[in-house]
Each structure stands twice: as structure tokens, then as C-alpha cells.
């Protein structure tokens, strides 16, 4: 008889999914309970996602992104890769991870105050690009973590801390419908809105989550699942009222339905492999590593140069020429531009740092050599020149006096340029002077940099090299 009884049932062991941790490694003693409020939907959603991860066999490939919000501590619970991000920035971080680790299954878990508000732009841009991300959007109509303020999804007439008489569409607009917005884009593969209102709908929600993760498992692109979820604490609801609120109010405003399912019609996304090898970058920037490295002195200190003037005076191109010369010699170099919106006439400057070692910052606060093409720049940056440093400026600016212990040189760079038939090469005359003021780089490197800079304008290469030599000659004779 006992043998017959044993055959009448199947023994099953029920346990939490492997993709959820058994204990939650955090401060405090209660390491087997989540931080979520009683009745919150996040715990249900976490379990559904983890069950789908187990069933699809993708746990080892998964990375969960949890931005600021109630679910910011999701990394306590999910037994997979985890990244915590700033408010609204999850799609940007997820994009980077997905593109850097093509085999990763990246999940972005976001609330309505995060995704539909501060992160709306990133969300739409990632969806429009068809990034390989599964987005789980938890819509409970309020900002949960910060105390129940009005969110983009708050219903018309719904009372919150910040709209205590109910949301007024004439004042605060209408609820944001994220699935409908994303459905206007062509790239997303899977879009569905689900509900946690009752056990049946929870089972249907799991099916949608599994479909979204299947899209990721097969590498087919962007999937988006919006989940209508209870927030009993902030909405001051018991279990029954929370269920009724979702079914009778939320689902009327946000219809539960599948908006798109191209899982079986979409081919996997195949992106070309990125090549950031030294050889590839050298080819892009036309850097040759053959022959002499060009170092005059292995013990040289980093050289900080500031080139400044008006927009249109060749300030940025002068800095690029210097940087290109240093790069060609195999030195560490940075070029950091700063300019206003004006095409011509606005302030413009750039900082160039040349070093034998890694450069910590491209910002130049202590200037070794200041090259100034106008008076405002001369007055602005002269106080930043190091003691013993050099100020090289266009003589047409006029007299410039300083009580600081620096070398001041007024150079007729415009006159030198005009003598060679092109006043616009005045910046090159100043670079020529630089070749004599510092022996960090070879003159030949500057000449090659000019050829590189003006490769698309071969007619001006010779005149610029002539002006470069004339500027160097002037410094020899006048310093």
C-alpha cells in the first residue's frame, strides 16, 4: 500500500532561483530580508526576472544595471554581474557594457521617476539605436524612494505629496505612456506592458519578461517591459486597495497589452568588432614609430603651453600643430581646446601638455609658455605663467609690462607673415619662435606637423614652412 501511495505523487523541491542570492551581503543583521516595503512589487519582479534567468540558462552572462531609486540596491539580491548608476543614466551605462561585452545580457531595472523623467532622453536614444538591452520599467505612478511625489506616470486626479488636490493636466500635463512612446521607434524588438494586479497577471508578466530576455539571449536588440506595480506605502493602500487601484485605474490609463514582438522575425545584431590596438590608432592619427623617438633630453620636465586669441586667428590649429609634432616624436601629449559659440571674434584658447610620462590632466593652470594673439588673452593668462616662464605675444598688441619674473617677448608675427604674402600665417610665425624657445621637439617635427595639418590644402604648406623658419630666425636675432 505504501508503495502505491509513493507512486501517486511526484516529489518537488521548491527554492528561490539560483539567480537570486540566498543571503544579502549588506550592513546590519537582517541579511535574509529585502529592504522593500511590505506589499511592494519589486520583490515579485525580482523573483520573476531571476526565475527567467534560471530557465533560460543565462545567469553567467547577465549584468543588472540598477540606478538611483527604490531598486538602487538590486545588487544585494541578483546573483549576477551588477552595476549601480546615477539617476537616469542606466541606458548610457548599459549601452557601454553591451558594446564592450558583446556576449553579455544587459538588464536595466528602472522606476518611473528615473526612466520616464531624468532618464527619458537616454531611454529613447538607446531604444532608437536598438541597443542590446532588456529594460524593465516599474510603473507605480509615484516617486517611491523620496516619499511619494508626483511622477511622470501619476494619473489625472491622483493625489500625491506634491499634488495634494490631484494631478491637474492643465498644470502638470498628462501621464507619460512609455510603451506607446517607444513603439513609435523602428528599432525595438519587443515591447509589452504587464500588470501585477493578481496571480494570473503575474504569470503573464513572467512570460513577457522571459520573452524580453530571450531577445537578449539571441542577441536581437532592444526589449522593453513596463510593469504596473503597487506602491502601498506611498499610496497608503492595503493589499485589496492596491490590487483594485492597478486594475481599475492604472490599467485604464495604461492598457496592458503587447505592442510589438519581432523576436522570431529579427536577425541577431552583428556589430563590427572595435579595434583600439596601438597599430590601429597609429594608422588613424598617422603616427610613425620608426626611427629616433625625438627626445632631446630624457630628463625633461613636462612642458605646458597655452595658445590664446580670438576665434579665426588660428589659435586651435596652432595648438594642434604643436600636439601633432609631439605625437609624431612618440611623446605623451594632450590638446585641450576652449572656445565660445562665435565662429569669429570670440575668445579662444587651447592648452598643450608635452611629457615623457603619462599626463594626469590636460588642464594647464601653470603655464611654461604663453602664446597670445590678442590683448584680452594676454591680460587674462599672463598671471598664470610660471616664474621663469615665457610670454610670447603679437607686437601689434602694444606694450605689455609685468612685475613678475617672466620672460616677455613682443614678436611682430603679423609683419613676418605679411612679408611672406599671407597674414593668416601669423600663428605659424609664433610656432617658429617656439621651436627656438624650447628644444623639447625637433624643427623637423613641426614641419612635418604642418604638412599633416594642411594635407588637404597643399598650396599653403610651403608658405607656412617658410613663415615657421622666419619666426625661428627672428627669435635667434632678437632674444
**Residues 380-433: tens digit of each pLDDT:** 999 999 999 999 999 999 999 888 999 999 999 999 999 998 999 999 999 999
pLDDT average, residue stretch 68-88: 91
pLDDT digits (tens, 9 = 90+) for 208-233: 999 999 999 999 999 999 999 999 99
Euclidean distance between CA atoms 369 and 416, whole angstroms:
20
**Phi, then psi, of 155 in degrees rounded to 5:** -75, 155
Which residue segments constitute the domains of the chain, with CATH numbers given? Answer: 15-261 (3.40.50.970), 300-478 (3.40.920.10)
Euclidean distance between CA atoms 136 and 45, whole angstroms:
9
Euclidean distance between CA atoms 468 and 479, whole angstroms:
16
DSSP secondary structure of 282-314 = HHHTT----S----S-TTPPPEEEEEEEETTSS
Q: Are 331 and 378 in contact (CB under 8 A)?
A: no
What lies within 8 Å, CB to CB, of 317 at 6+ separation is 427, 453
Residue among 199, 200, 197 nearest 246 (CA): 197
DSSP SS3 for 447 = helix
**Bridge partner list, 226:** 137, 193
**Which pLDDT does position 196 carry in this prediction?**
97
pLDDT: is 359 or 288 the higher one?
359
Q: Are 193 and 257 in contact (CB under 8 A)?
A: yes
Q: What percent of the chain has pLDDT over 70?
A: 93
**Which pLDDT does position 4 carry in this prediction?**
54
pLDDT digits (tens, 9 = 90+) for 172-181: 999 999 999 9
**Phi, then psi, of 10 in degrees rounded to 5:** -110, 125
pLDDT: is 247 or 69 the higher one?
247
Q: Of 124-128, 137-141, 446-450, 452-456, which range is least confident?
A: 452-456
Task: Answer yes or no: is pLDDT of 479 > 80.
Answer: no
**Which pLDDT does position 27 carry in this prediction?**
64
Strand order in the sheet with 407-411: 332-339, 347-355, 303-310, 367-372, 385-394, 407-411
Q: 105-111 and 133-139: which strand pairing?
A: parallel
pLDDT average, residue stretch 342-370: 87
Q: Of 136-150, 280-294, 313-327, which range is least confident?
A: 280-294
pLDDT: is 439 or 206 the higher one?
206
pLDDT digits (tens, 9 = 90+) for 403-418: 899 999 999 999 999 9
Task: Answer yes or no: is pLDDT of 16 > 90.
Answer: no
pLDDT: is 461 or 347 the higher one?
461
**Bridge partner list, 411:** 394
Q: Whole-number mean pLDDT of the chain?
A: 91
Q: Are 247 and 158 in contact (CB under 8 A)?
A: no
pLDDT: is 284 or 208 the higher one?
208
Q: Are 268 and 218 in contact (CB under 8 A)?
A: yes
- Please classify residue 153 by burial: count the beta carbons closer than 10 Å to its beta carbon, then call 0-12 exposed, 13-18 middle and 19+ buried: buried
Euclidean distance between CA atoms 162 and 173, whole angstroms:
14
In sign, the C-alpha dihedral spanning 258, 259, 263, 268 is negative
- Please classify residue 398 by burial: count the beta carbons closer than 10 Å to its beta carbon, then call 0-12 exposed, 13-18 middle and 19+ buried: exposed
What lies within 8 Å, CB to CB, of 185 at 6+ separation is 124, 127, 128
User: What pLDDT band is residue 29 in, cutting at 50, 70 and 90?
Assistant: low
Euclidean distance between CA atoms 99 and 469, whole angstroms:
48
Task: Answer yes or no: is pLDDT of 186 > 80.
Answer: yes
Beta strands in 381-446 (DSSP E): 385-394, 407-411
Euclidean distance between CA atoms 56 and 212, whole angstroms:
11
Neighbours of 102 (CB within 10 A): 13
DSSP SS3 for 397 = helix
pLDDT average, residue stretch 336-348: 75
User: What pLDDT band is residue 343 in, cutting at 50, 70 and 90?
Assistant: low
**Which pLDDT does position 85 carry in this prediction?**
94
The tally of CA atoms less than 13 A away on the side-chain side of residue 189 is: 28
Q: Is the pTM of this model over 0.75?
A: no
Measured CA distances, 162 to 146, 155, 172, 254 (Å) = 11, 13, 11, 22
Euclidean distance between CA atoms 398 and 241, whole angstroms:
80
pLDDT average, residue stretch 91-120: 95
Euclidean distance between CA atoms 141 and 234, whole angstroms:
10
User: What pLDDT band is residue 276 in, cutting at 50, 70 and 90?
Assistant: confident
**Which pLDDT does position 296 carry in this prediction?**
46
Euclidean distance between CA atoms 143 and 135, whole angstroms:
18
Amino acid at each position: 500500500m505504501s508503495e502505491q501511495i509513493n507512486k501517486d505523487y511526484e516529489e518537488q523541491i521548491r527554492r528561490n532561483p539560483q539567480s537570486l542570492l540566498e543571503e544579502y551581503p549588506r550592513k546590519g543583521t537582517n541579511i535574509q530580508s529585502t529592504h522593500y516595503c511590505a506589499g511592494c512589487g519589486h520583490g515579485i519582479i525580482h523573483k520573476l526576472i531571476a526565475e527567467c534567468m534560471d530557465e533560460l540558462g543565462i545567469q553567467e552572462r547577465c549584468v543588472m544595471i540598477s540606478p538611483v531609486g527604490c531598486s538602487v540596491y538590486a545588487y544585494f539580491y541578483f546573483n549576477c554581474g551588477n552595476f549601480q548608476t546615477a539617476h537616469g543614466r542606466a541606458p548610457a551605462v548599459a549601452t557601454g557594457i553591451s558594446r564592450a561585452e558583446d556576449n553579455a545580457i544587459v538588464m536595466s531595472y528602472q522606476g518611473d521617476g528615473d526612466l520616464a523623467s531624468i532618464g527619458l532622453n537616454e531611454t529613447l536614444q538607446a531604444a532608437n539605436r536598438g541597443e542590446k538591452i532588456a529594460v524593465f520599467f516599474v510603473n507605480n505612478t509615484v516617486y517611491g524612494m523620496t516619499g511619494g511625489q508626483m511622477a511622470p506616470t501619476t494619473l489625472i486626479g491622483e493625489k500625491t505629496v506634491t499634488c495634494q488636490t490631484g494631478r491637474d493636466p492643465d498644470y502638470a500635463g498628462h501621464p507619460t505612456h512609455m510603451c506607446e512612446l517607444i513603439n513609435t521607434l523602428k528599432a525595438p524588438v519587443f515591447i509589452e506592458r504587464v500588470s501585477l494586479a493578481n496571480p494570473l497577471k503575474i504569470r503573464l508578466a513572467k512570460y513577457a519578461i522571459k520573452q524580453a530576455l530571450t531577445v537578449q539571449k539571441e542577441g536581437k536588440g532592444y526589449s522593453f517591459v513596463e510593469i504596473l506595480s503597487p506602491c502601498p506605502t506611498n499610496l497608503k493602500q492595503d493589499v485589496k486597495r492596491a490590487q483594485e487601484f492597478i486594475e481599475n485605474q492604472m490599467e485604464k490609463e495604461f492598457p496592458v497589452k503587447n505592442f510589438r514582438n519581432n523576436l522570431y522575425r529579427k536577425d541577431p545584431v552583428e556589430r563590427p568588432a572595435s579595434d583600439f590596438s596601438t597599430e590601429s590608432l597609429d594608422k588613424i592619427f598617422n603616427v610613425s614609430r620608426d626611427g629616433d623617438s625625438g627626445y632631446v633630453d630624457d630628463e625633461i620636465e613636462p612642458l605646458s603651453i597655452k595658445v590664446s586669441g580670438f576665434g579665426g586667428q588660428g589659435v586651435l590649429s596652432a595648438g594642434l600643430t604643436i600636439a601633432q609634432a609631439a605625437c609624431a616624436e612618440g611623446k605623451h601629449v594632450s590638446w585641450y581646446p576652449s572656445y565660445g559659440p562665435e565662429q569669429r571674434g570670440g575668445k579662444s584658447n587651447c592648452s598643450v601638455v608635452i611629457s615623457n610620462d603619462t599626463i594626469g590632466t590636460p588642464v594647464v593652470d601653470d603655464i611654461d609658455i604663453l602664446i597670445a594673439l590678442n590683448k584680452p588673452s594676454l591680460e587674462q593668462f599672463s598671471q598664470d605663467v610660471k616664474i621663469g616662464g615665457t610670454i610670447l605675444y603679437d607686437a601689434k598688441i602694444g606694450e605689455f609690462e609685468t612685475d613678475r619674473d617672466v620672460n616677455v617677448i613682443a614678436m611682430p608675427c603679423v609683419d613676418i607673415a605679411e612679408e611672406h604674402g599671407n597674414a593668416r600665417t601669423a600663428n605659424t610665425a609664433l610656432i617658429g619662435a617656439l621651436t627656438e624657445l624650447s628644444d623639447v621637439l625637433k624643427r623637423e617635427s613641426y614641419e612635418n606637423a604642418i604638412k599633416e595639418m594642411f594635407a588637404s590644402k597643399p598650396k599653403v604648406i610651403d608658405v607656412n614652412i617658410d613663415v615657421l623658419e622666419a619666426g625661428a630666425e627672428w627669435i635667434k636675432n632678437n632674444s
